[in-house]
């Protein structure tokens, strides 16, 4: 294997193709249903129900993550609670899928990684919120611990996420609301 090539052991198998259409542009994502089957099933079923449509990006850490998936963001009167909401197809929280043998876990939080935003430090507290890495975890001043289920990776549209991360923020929320117009998910 030539230097700079990824080991086949670190390339997760994509099972679904997703398009997250936001008010600032489209982001293409592939999901890893073999590495995180419960998480992918939850995300796909919520997307197919239109659950994410109309929600806002509610958390940005410049140079680190863009987070969304909170249904409370559809109601501006609940602004103080944004980031605390979530639903799952399982009727509540569901467990983390942190298998150290899966390719996605072994690769870690690299730029473009799609991961569940659980209620850390409470394990097994996943619902509908997710985040996307804007850079490799090892480049962050304080790298994240491997406690968030990785279930996909951006395949196109990183420039959209980088543009969102450059918006003026108020307490981590973009002043210019960034709305999820639609999330579509199809099997590969």
Structure tokens at 41: 């099933």
CA distance linking residue 6 with residue 107, whole number of Å: 9
Q: How far is CA 47 from the centre of its chain?
A: 13
CATH class of 13-187: mainly beta
Q: Which residues contact 101 (CB under 8 A, 6 or more apart)?
A: none
Q: Is the distance from CB of 65 to CB of 136 less than 8 angstroms?
A: no
Rg of the chain's alpha carbons, rounded to an integer? Answer: 16
For residue 22, how many other CB atoms are within 10 A of its CB? 23
CA distance linking residue 29 with residue 17, whole number of Å: 6
CA distance linking residue 167 with residue 174, whole number of Å: 6
The per-residue pLDDT string of the chain (188 residues; one tens digit each, 9 = 90 and over) reads: 343 445 666 789 999 999 999 999 999 999 999 999 999 999 999 999 999 999 999 999 999 999 999 999 999 999 999 999 999 999 999 999 999 999 999 999 999 999 999 998 899 999 999 999 999 999 999 898 889 999 999 999 999 999 999 999 999 999 999 999 999 999 99
Structure tokens at 70: 């909170």
Domain segments of the chain as ranges: 13-187
The model carries a pTM of 0.94
CA distance linking residue 97 with residue 53, whole number of Å: 25
DSSP 83: T
Q: In degrees, to the nearest 5, what angle opens at C-alpha 170 toward C-alphas 164 and 172?
A: 60
Q: Is the distance from CB of 28 to CB of 157 less than 8 angstroms?
A: yes
Residue 145 has a pLDDT of 86
């Amino acid at each position: 294997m030539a230097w700079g090539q990824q080991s086949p052991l670190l390339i997760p198998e994509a099972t679904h193709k997703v398009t997250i259409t936001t008010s600032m542009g489209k982001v293409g994502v592939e999901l890893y249903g073999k590495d995180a089957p419960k998480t992918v099933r939850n995300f796909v079923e919520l997307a197919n129900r239109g659950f994410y449509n109309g929600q806002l990006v509610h958390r940005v850490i410049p140079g680190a993550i863009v987070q969304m998936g909170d249904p409370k963001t559809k109601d501006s009167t609940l602004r103080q609670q944004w980031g605390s909401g979530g639903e799952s197809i399982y009727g509540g929280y569901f467990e983390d899928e942190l298998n150290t043998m899966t390719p996605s876990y072994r690769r870690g939080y690299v730029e473009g990684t799609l991961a569940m935003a659980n209620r850390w430090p409470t394990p097994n507290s996943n619902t509908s919120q997710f985040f996307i890495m804007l850079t490799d975890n090892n480049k962050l001043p304080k790298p994240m611990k491997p406690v968030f289920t990785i279930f996909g990776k951006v395949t196109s549209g990183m420039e959209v996420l980088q543009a969102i991360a450059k918006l003026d923020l108020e307490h981590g929320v973009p002043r210019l609301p960034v709305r999820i117009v639609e999330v579509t998910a199809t099997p590969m």
